[in-house]
């Protein structure tokens, strides 16, 4: 009796059916077509919502000024020349004239304008905190600012914010600095060295005024710094003259005092000390933002994408 052994292949799988995980594009298009009205409805809702959102956004106006770096080397150039000529002789007497290099005053002025201290002094000096933190709308008819009544009472000039500790109803200078940094822009062109200062605000008049104040304040700030430094240097140099009897050293010190006097003189007679105004700021007649048409287009596109995703996700969940 012959026993025939039947081969057994338990691990062998025969491709007798299609892979269910494969995505059929025709099926996807069919699903999207079947859910077209749902997609259209969702897109329409997003479009209407984006139109309402865009209309309710207040106009923002931008005012800017184009500035050129002023010649601020009238004192430093002479001092650097003296340092190069008599540096060795002065060092023998224990006097340090400094090197020829230094910080670019234009770049320093830009960084000062971006600093917290300068911003805080600017806000407090011109009393612009309500216009910065509580402005809600600009009334074009009478050129007035409408403040948010939940934040600030204009009649009593009292802050009404409800905030948690450590914050107070009146915004701190740290909060004001963050808000101010978002509406001001200071850019320097690398090829020409020109500096652009711009401010964005609900009121074009306020934006224009703030740009003018910023330019005037930074020129005064840098002028005061140089005058104070030159005054201290002059006082120090005079004390050094009294301590030496060497004629050559005394001659150097007198020349250094002369350079400091030039610095003070140039600072006193020139208002545009660091920046010269090439194109002054103006009151803008047209808004810079929001881009309402772009908001509507992007909102409609987002609605269409969301509608298609919703239909496909619903189909795969059911499947």
Long-range residue pairs from 144-150, CB within 8 A, at least 24 positions apart, any chain: 145/202, 145/203, 145/206
> If pLDDT is split at 50, 70 and 90, which confidence band does 23 have?
low
Q: What is the pLDDT of residues 111-149, one digit of tens each?
A: 999 999 999 999 999 999 999 999 999 988 888 999 999
Residue pair 169/152 in contact by the 8 Å Cβ criterion: no
Q: What is the pLDDT of residues 47-95, one digit of tens each?
A: 999 999 999 888 999 999 999 998 644 444 444 445 555 555 455 444 4
Q: What is the pLDDT of residues 290-316, one digit of tens each?
A: 888 999 999 999 999 999 998 888 888
Provide the token pair at 132.
């910065």
pTM of the predicted model as reported, rounded to 2 decimal places: 0.75
Provide the token pair at 18.
């299609």
Q: Select the more confidently predicted residue: 137 or 17.
A: 137
Provide the token pair at 173.
């200078």
pLDDT of residue 252: 83
The CATH code for residues 61-289 is 3.30.1890
Rounded to an integer, what distance in angstroms lies between the CA atom of residue 67 and that of residue 64? 10
Residue extents of the structural domains in the chain: 35-57+290-314, 61-289
> Pairing relation of β-strands 152-153 and 158-159?
antiparallel
Segment 229-257 mean pLDDT: 84
Q: What is the 3-state secondary structure (H, E, C) of the chain?
A: CCCCCCCCCCCCCCCCCCCCCCCCHHHHHHHHHHCHHHHHHHHHHHHHHHHHHHHHCCCEEEEEEEEEECCCCHHHHHHHHHHHHHHHHHHHCCCCCCCCCCCCHHHHHHHHHHCHHHHHHHHHHHCCHHHHHCEEEEECCCCEEEECCCCEECCCCEECCCCCCCCCCCCCHHHHHHHHHHHEEEEECCCCCCEEEEEEECCHHHHHHHHHHHHHHHHHHHHHHHHHHHHHHHHHHHHHHHHCCCHHHHHHHHHHHHHHHHHHHHHHHCCCCCEEEEECCCCCCCCCECCHHHHHHHHHHHHHHHHHHHHHHHHHHHC
> If pLDDT is split at 50, 70 and 90, which confidence band does 18 have?
very low
- 73: number of CA atoms within 13 Å, CB side? 12
- 24: number of CA atoms within 13 Å, CB side? 8
Going by C-alpha positions, the residue among 209, 178, 187, 179 that lies closest to residue 61 is 209
Q: What is the largest CA-CA distance in the chain?
A: 136
Return the CA Rg of the chain: 35
Q: Chain-wide mean pLDDT for the chain? A: 83
Rounded to an integer, what distance in angstroms lies between the CA atom of residue 70 and that of residue 90? 31
When mean pLDDT is compared across 151-160, 244-253, 297-306, the lowest value belongs to 244-253
Rounded to an integer, what distance in angstroms lies between the CA atom of residue 226 and that of residue 202? 36
pLDDT of residue 260: 86
pLDDT of residue 8: 52
Going by C-alpha positions, the residue among 124, 133, 224, 117 that lies closest to residue 176 is 133
């Amino acid at each position: 009796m012959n026993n025939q052994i039947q081969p057994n292949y338990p691990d062998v799988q025969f491709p007798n059916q299609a892979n269910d995980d494969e995505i059929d594009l025709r099926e996807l298009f069919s699903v999207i077509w079947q859910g077209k009205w749902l997609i259209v409805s969702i897109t329409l809702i997003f479009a209407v919502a984006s139109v309402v959102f865009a209309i309710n956004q207040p106009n923002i106006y931008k005012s800017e000024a184009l500035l050129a770096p002023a010649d601020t080397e009238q004192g430093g150039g002479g001092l650097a020349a003296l340092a190069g000529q008599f540096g060795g002789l002065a060092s023998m007497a224990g006097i340090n004239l400094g090197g020829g290099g230094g910080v670019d005053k234009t770049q320093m002025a830009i960084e000062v304008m971006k600093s917290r201290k300068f911003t805080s002094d600017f806000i407090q000096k011109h009393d612009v905190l309500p216009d910065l933190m509580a402005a809600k709308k600009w009334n074009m008819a009478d050129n007035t600012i409408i403040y948010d009544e939940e934040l600030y009472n204009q009649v009593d000039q009292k802050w009404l914010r409800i905030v948690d500790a450590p914050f107070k109803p009146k915004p701190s200078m740290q909060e004001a600095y963050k808000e101010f940094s978002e509406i001001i822009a200071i850019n320097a062109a690398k090829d020409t060295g020109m500096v652009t200062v711009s401010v964005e605000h609900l009121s074009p008049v306020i934006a224009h005024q703030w740009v003018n104040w910023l330019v005037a304040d930074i020129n005064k700030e840098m002028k005061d710094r140089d005058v104070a430094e030159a005054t201290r240097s002059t006082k120090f140099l005079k004390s050094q003259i009294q301590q030496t009897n060497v004629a050559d050293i005394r001659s150097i010190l007198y020349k250094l005092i002369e350079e400091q006097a030039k610095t003070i003189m140039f600072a006193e007679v020139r208002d545009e000390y660091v920046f010269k105004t090439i194109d002054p700021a103006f009151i803008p007649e047209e808004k810079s933002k929001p881009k309402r048409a772009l908001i509507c287009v992007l909102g409609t596109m987002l609605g269409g994408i969301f509608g298609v995703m919703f239909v496909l996700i619903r189909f795969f969940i059911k499947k």
